[in-house]
Amino acid sequence: MIDDAYLWLESLDEPEAARWVAERNDETLAAFADEEFARTRDEIREVLDSRDRISFPGWRGDGFYYSFWQDADHPRGLWRRTTAEQYRLAEPEWDVLLDVDALNEAEGENWTWSDVTVLRPGNERCLISLARGGADASVVREFDMVRRVFVTDGFTLPEAKSDVDWIDADHIFVGTDFGPGSLTSSGYPRIVKRWRRGTPLSEAETVFEGAADDILVRAYHDTTEGFERDLVIRWPTFFTREYHVRVPGGELERIDVPEDADCEVHREWMLVRVRSPWTVGGVTHPAGALLATRFGRRDFTVLFRPDERTSLNGWSWTRNHLLLVTMTDVRTEAHVLTPGDPEWTRQALPAAGEFAQTWIVETDPDRDDSYLIAAEGFLLPTTLSLGTVGGPVEVLKRQPDFFDPAGLEVRQFFAVSADGTRVPYFVVGGEKPGPALLSGYGGFEVALTPGYDAVIGRGWLARGGAYAVANIRGGGEYGPAWHRAALRENRLRAYEDFAAVAADLVARGITTPAQLGIKGGSNGGLLMGVMLTRYPELFGAVVATVPLLDMRRYTRLLAGKSWIAEYGDPDVAADWEFLREYSPYQNVRPDRVYPPVLFSTSTRDDRVHPGHARKMAALMREQGHEVAYHENVEGGHAGAADNDQAATIRALMLEFLWRRLAR
């Protein structure tokens, strides 16, 4: 039995919990109801609604540029498309396929856009996923892209964490809530079925069943002409996969790759990115290597081999080439690799510049060797370019400066963590010391790279504050080893890294502990909770958004069980021994002095339960600490469902920090 006086705050429907949330929201908003807050919010809203933002497109095999767009006139958004020629213009003519605001008005609903799966190659039908208030769970509805209407008696699924993919015009793969026992203990599909048009879902043919404690299973259909195939993937844990190909007759054949590897097939090729050393064909390949072979064969070619400073950031296929993005000390480079016999060839793509990042926005591997590539940095607004392998690169869009970069510079430093590890971090700001804001994540092999954040630019840098990003262990900045170094019982290393960066900022004279604020969300919100309770003397203010904070109960709340591979299982005594060392909710004390903290979450977050933030705020308030709390009703794990909500939440964060750090 867990002794938890605030367990009642985990309830989303009980009137007492709802009243508590409403009272905290009223207190927090009242504290910021002044002209300064309104000005910050309006400046942020101007950025979020700006028509000068780049409308990043997707390609779906028909030559159109597809985009989902939100602004002041369309807060819930438009799904739209335009031609390649129109997209080059400053103000393209967009063909609106679905107006989510109009749909909400017509149906009396509260839909937010979630996802779309288009039937190729005809591109006349699609499956649209719509969520209520921004949740992960969504409804799925078939949509006629020619007539611009939802298909009567088409493929439809009720609200659930579903996964769908087209097989052909009359069949789809579907994983959803089929009834008791059909979901994993993490709340995702355990069973995937093949569903024929015009038949009830209950009659769909089962293709694969995973185990109850798996994370999820899914299936998809490869539509590549001449290489059509069905693939089924089982996730036993967050970081392990089983890949299966469906052979004629419906049987599944497992692809022989390591469980912790990423595997991808493209035409005749198969890529394998290994997370731990793998010996195959008498050769041992290091963790983080990318290998290629012809599908069905075992003679692998090494396409990328990591070293202590360099890792693989991502890849994308065109029809005949592979685009790679690598990182060296968190600085990206892009390359084109071309299959050859016997050797693959390599060619560099234009670099984004120092302290900037390059990433592949889109390719269309069924059509040709074109690609969309973007570049941006902390002070470099985003540029979107169109290229063709072996041909020119054309700039399509340039985002304007949303804040004045004059007097600002970007620097990279390395802090030394408690065990001697060098931890990189970036600092953006001027020469004078003063308020600084440090962010971090450090989990799930996610890398934090330089990016143009106009909201931080306007709401923080323009005021004279410095902004820093810590590339701590647990992330993916140096590949799988950097992530693995902070897994489970080694989690404290990530927190020691972040503390080392904070101390280094002070040692370099960039700021002082009283003027150093920190922010993070989700796993980064857990990071903030640990910094708050374990290193309170290092900081002047803390903001934690949609955070994990109660590591004793996290596996019992929503999708929490899916993260056991990352954190450990609190119901296993040996795991709880290391989890209890840092779990913020269990480590807050009435006799310690903590910096002021703002917790922000969403009632509709069905990934990280809002109970984490609620309970932590309530406990700290009871103990007499300075705590602000805000819970947006909508928004899901993103925290906001539209730009107005996002502007309010981000203004709260920046105003909370500035008013406490710039005094």
Largest CA distance in the chain: 71
Q: Which of 204, 207, 223, 219 is nearest to 119 (CA)?
A: 223
Q: How far is CA 641 from CA 61, 74, 98, 132, 624, in A?
A: 29, 12, 17, 9, 33
276 among known catalytic residues = no
Q: What is the DSSP string of 358-373?
A: EEEEEE-TTT-SEEEE
Catalytic residue among 74, 625, 630, 637: 637
Q: Please, are residues 98 and 79 in contact by the beta-carbon 8 Å criterion?
A: yes
Tokens of 170: 């009359």
Backbone angles phi, psi at 8, to 5 degrees: -60, -20
Structure tokens at 472: 């701590």
Q: Sheet harboring 163-168: ordered strands across?
A: 163-168, 171-175, 191-196, 205-209
Distance set, CA 196 to CA 116, 155, 172, 224 (Å): 19, 9, 7, 21
The 3-state DSSP class for residue 236 equals strand
Helix axes 35-49, 643-661, angle to 10 degrees: 130
Q: Nearest to residue 641, comparing CAs of 21, 109, 50, 178?
A: 109
Query: Radius of gyration over alpha carbons of the chain, in Å?
Result: 25
The total of other beta-carbon atoms located within 10 Å of residue 653's CB is 24
Dist. CA 15–CA 605, nearest whole Å:
18
DSSP 663: -
Q: Which of 67, 316, 522, 562 is catalytic?
A: 522
Whole-Å CA distances, 365 to 225, 238, 614: 11, 28, 46
**Is 522 among the residues known to form the active site?**
yes
- How far is residue 144's CA from residue 127's CA, in Å, rounded to a whole number? 9
Q: Is the dihedral of CA 363, 368, 369, 374 positive or negative?
A: negative
Q: How far apart are CA 610 and CA 600, in angstroms?
A: 9
Residue 108 DSSP code? T
245: exposed, middle or buried (Cβ count in 10 Å: 0-12, 13-18, 19+) = middle
How many beta carbons lie within 10 A of that of residue 35, not counting itself? 7
Q: Would you name the residues annotated as active-site residues?
A: 522, 637
